[in-house]
């Protein structure tokens, strides 16, 4: 994602350099084995995290989602401004009670070629394919992590080949946005059932690219789908690129070196290992890169925060006075300048990030050290605890942030310990209420503030939901449930802000910053764009 990671080493491994160069040479030769004149039409990027599956039913990690987005389509898609646009569905209607959605499908969308389709080696997508795909998503034997996307769905059916209908259990204003997730992509029954679990490495979709070659953890190559159904504004068929080549260098510093040498076309995010190399302290490109590199940045629906477990036995964490002192006790703007080179927005608002309707920059906490000291003193007087002490649990990637907060809070009279544990251990511990205070982030699953507020609904207590703090408020719960019945967009946004304000007043969390999407590309690349959900869309990318 776009988070600063602590570098594993300040030195670039010679063996890693040899491996990376070898991998890139293999990729290029694979992609261009018969099309050397089209070499400039290959878009190359690196994933430092291995791809687990190319099956959209398992599109839960960013690396997987980016790859799957090139291979599969759904009913609808999101544009760069978070507006829901047609995809395989040309249009749709919503019933007056907001429970029934009727989608009219295109009749010219073909699956990628495969011999199992018979004589024509392909076939047209029908409404029955969405029935199969959605049922598969719900199948407990498949155990898709995306099954929750259909939690509010009562049933669905193919009225005919080009009309697909979904009926909800209750009105859900964010439902169309939820359908843009890659989980809801269409897949062909005959191919999936032939490969079974191996469909993960034999994906057949409808997307702008199709799988050419995958050597896991080494290289992944997609080739242009010559029968893709979408066109640009001038009627020219998409995609423009001939191929996409992905390498798997686990080290971010190695990845950046490959980018600097022109071996890959794109780097996402700002890593501590190279942030000062490419950016000034104010967040601008350094002169060395101005002529060869473009930087694109914009809001990202990701809130980085510290969380308190509200059922903790520790008096420090039971006290809203001390929790407020922590929120007032450090300078978020200074933190962003020194640790992120100005990339990211200090979280002086609530939990809803900037860029989403419902965000309000007046409901959070600013840096007020004297007020923080007064609150700490009040806590000491009321409890008799002379030296309040807290422990922040984090991963090594965020150690620099926690160390900064540690230094700042010690200035106001709070002793801060830092416990660094592996990501998997932290994930399990926070889900099971074993951590009193921990660093976390929430990236939007779909672009609606309800997604963020669901972390404070009492019926979502972890491990059965995302309420990791075990925050509970009857008033909040009532407002949360009311929001589903409000069809007026502005009215619902106002209620979202009230809910966020209530959460901040009770301080179960310490918002740190709202992230930004940052992308670096070669000057030869155009049309990449940017979006607040950080989805990689390559169908309109061109290379000179």
Band of pLDDT at residue 487, cut at 50, 70 and 90 = confident
Q: Is the pLDDT confidence value at 322 over 60?
A: yes
Q: What is the mean pLDDT of the chain?
A: 91
**Spatial separation of the C-alpha atoms in residues 59 and 205, rounded to whole Å:** 14
Band of pLDDT at residue 40, cut at 50, 70 and 90 = low
Q: Is the pLDDT confidence value at 452 over 90?
A: yes
Around 387, how many Cα atoms within 13 Å sit in the side-chain half-sphere?
A: 4
Per residue in 371-399, pLDDT tens? 999 999 999 999 999 999 999 999 998 99
pLDDT at 312: 96
Longest Cα–Cα distance in the chain: 83
Q: Is the pLDDT confidence value at 14 over 70?
A: no
pLDDT at 17: 43
Band of pLDDT at residue 38, cut at 50, 70 and 90 = low
Per residue in 46-96, pLDDT tens? 998 889 999 999 998 889 999 999 999 999 999 888 889 999 999 999 998
In sequence order, what are the residues at sequence separation of 6 or more whose Cβ sits closer than 8 angstroms to the Cβ of residue 144? 57, 58, 136, 137, 138, 183
Answer whether 46's CB lies under 8 Å from 257's CB.
no
Q: Is the pLDDT confidence value at 194 over 70?
A: yes
Q: Is the pLDDT confidence value at 285 over 90?
A: yes
Structure tokens given for 355: 């860029």
In sequence order, what are the residues at sequence separation of 6 or more whose Cβ sits closer than 8 angstroms to the Cβ of residue 54? 64, 67, 68, 71, 200, 201, 203, 211, 214
pLDDT at 388: 97
Q: Is the pLDDT confidence value at 10 over 80?
A: no
Structure tokens given for 303: 């809130």
**Spatial separation of the C-alpha atoms in residues 456 and 469, rounded to whole Å:** 8
More confident residue, 272 or 473: 473
520, β-bridge pairs: 267, 295
Per residue in 127-161, pLDDT tens? 999 999 999 999 999 999 999 899 999 999 999 99
pTM of the model: 0.80
Q: Is the dihedral of CA 488, 491, 493, 498 positive or negative?
A: negative
């Amino acid at each position: 994602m776009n988070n600063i990671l602590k570098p594993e080493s300040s030195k670039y491994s010679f063996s890693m350099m040899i491996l990376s160069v070898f991998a890139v040479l293999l990729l290029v030769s694979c992609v261009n084995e018969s099309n050397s004149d089209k070499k400039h039409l290959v878009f190359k990027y690196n994933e430092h995290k291995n791809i687990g599956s190319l099956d959209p039913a398992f599109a839960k990690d960013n690396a997987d989602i980016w790859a799957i987005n090139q291979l599969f389509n759904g009913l609808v898609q999101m544009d760069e401004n978070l507006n829901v646009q047609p995809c395989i569905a040309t249009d749709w209607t919503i019933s007056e009670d907001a429970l029934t959605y009727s989608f009219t499908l295109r009749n010219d969308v073909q699956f990628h070629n495969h011999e199992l389709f018979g004589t024509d080696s392909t076939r047209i997508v029908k409404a029955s394919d969405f029935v199969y795909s959605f049922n598969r998503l719900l199948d407990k034997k498949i155990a898709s992590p995306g099954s929750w996307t259909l939690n509010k769905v009562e049933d669905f059916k193919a009225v005919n080949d080009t009309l697909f209908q979904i009926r909800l259990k209750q009105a859900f204003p964010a439902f169309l946005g939820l359908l843009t997730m890659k989980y809801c992509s269409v897949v062909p029954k005959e191919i999936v059932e032939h490969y079974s679990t191996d469909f993960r490495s034999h994906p057949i979709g409808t997307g702008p690219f199709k799988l050419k070659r995958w050597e896991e953890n080494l290289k992944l190559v997609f080739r242009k789908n010559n029968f893709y159904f979408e066109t640009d504004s001038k009627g020219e068929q998409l995609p423009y690129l001939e191929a996409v080549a992905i390498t798997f260098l686990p080290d971010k510093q190695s990845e950046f070196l490959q980018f600097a040498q022109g071996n890959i076309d794109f780097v996402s995010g700002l890593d501590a290992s190279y942030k000062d190399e490419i950016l000034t302290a104010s967040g601008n490109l350094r002169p060395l890169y101005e002529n060869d590199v473009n930087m694109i940045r914009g809001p990202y629906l990701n809130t980085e925060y510290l969380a308190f477990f509200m059922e903790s036995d520790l008096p420090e964490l039971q006290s809203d006075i001390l929790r407020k002192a922590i929120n007032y006790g450090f300078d978020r703007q200074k933190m962003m300048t020194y640790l992120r080179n100005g990339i990211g927005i200090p979280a002086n608002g609530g939990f809803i990030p900037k860029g989403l309707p419902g965000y309000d920059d007046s409901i959070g906490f600013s840096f007020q050290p004297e007020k923080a000291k007064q609150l700490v003193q009040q806590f000491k007087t009321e409890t008799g605890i002379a030296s309040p002490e807290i422990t922040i649990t984090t991963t090594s990637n965020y150690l620099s942030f926690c160390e900064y907060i540690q230094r700042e809070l010690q200035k106001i009279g709070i002793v801060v310990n830092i416990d660094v544990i592996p990501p998997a251990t932290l994930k399990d511990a926070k889900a099971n209420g074993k951590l009193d205070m921990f660093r976390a982030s929430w990236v939007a699953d779909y672009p609606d503030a309800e997604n963020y507020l669901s972390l404070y609904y009492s019926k979502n207590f972890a491990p059965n939901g995302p309420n990791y703090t075990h925050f509970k408020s009857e008033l909040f719960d009532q407002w949360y449930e009311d929001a589903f019945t409000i069809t007026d967009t502005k009215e619902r946004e106002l209620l979202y802000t009230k809910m966020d304000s209530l959460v901040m007043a009770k301080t179960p969390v310490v918002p740190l910053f709202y992230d930004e999407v940052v992308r670096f590309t070669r000057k030869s690349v155009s049309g990449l764009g940017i979006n607040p959900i950080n989805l990689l869309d390559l169908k309109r990318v061109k290379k000179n």
